[in-house]
Amino acid sequence: MMKPNRPNIPKGGTYPPEFREEAVRYWLSSGQTLNAVASDLGLTPESLRMWRKQMETTPSFEGVSTTAVQTTGELALAREVGQLKRELEAMTRQRDILKKAIAQRSA
């Protein structure tokens, strides 16, 4: 998922529901930590954490047309994608290490 564009919000204003949902989905699918994504988007970690909780518990997240079941299912899928990306990176690193070891022993 692509990084959502942060809208210009005056101090004390609220972010549009669409941006909130995109930010949470980006966080969960990116495989990055909460703090890293929040910093990248110019948000506080607590904002992302709160928006995620709202998405998981609210049938219609601030007017965004999603049902609680769809949102929860999509969040679960986004979490799984993030986890699988991290596992793939770890396996790729392990493979590369083994390739180097085999090459050194063969030489």
Give the pLDDT confidence of 72-105 residue by residue, as tens digits.
677 778 778 878 888 999 999 999 999 999 999 9
**What is the tally of structural domains in the chain?**
1
C-alpha to C-alpha distances, 87 to 28, 32, 61, nearest whole angstrom? 15, 13, 31
Average pLDDT over the chain reads: 80
* 4 occurs within a structural domain: no
91: containing domain: 17-106
With cut-offs at 50, 70 and 90, classify the pLDDT of residue 71. low
32 domain residue, yes or no:
yes
Kindly state whether residue 5 falls inside one of the protein's structural domains.
Answer: no
Domain presence at residue 48: yes
For residue 8, being part of any structural domain is answered with no
Query: What's the CA gap between 29 and 87, in Å, rounded?
Result: 13
Is the pLDDT at 67 greater than 50? The verdict is no
- The CA-to-CA distance between both ends of the chain, in Å, stands at 42
Q: Is residue 83 part of a domain?
A: yes
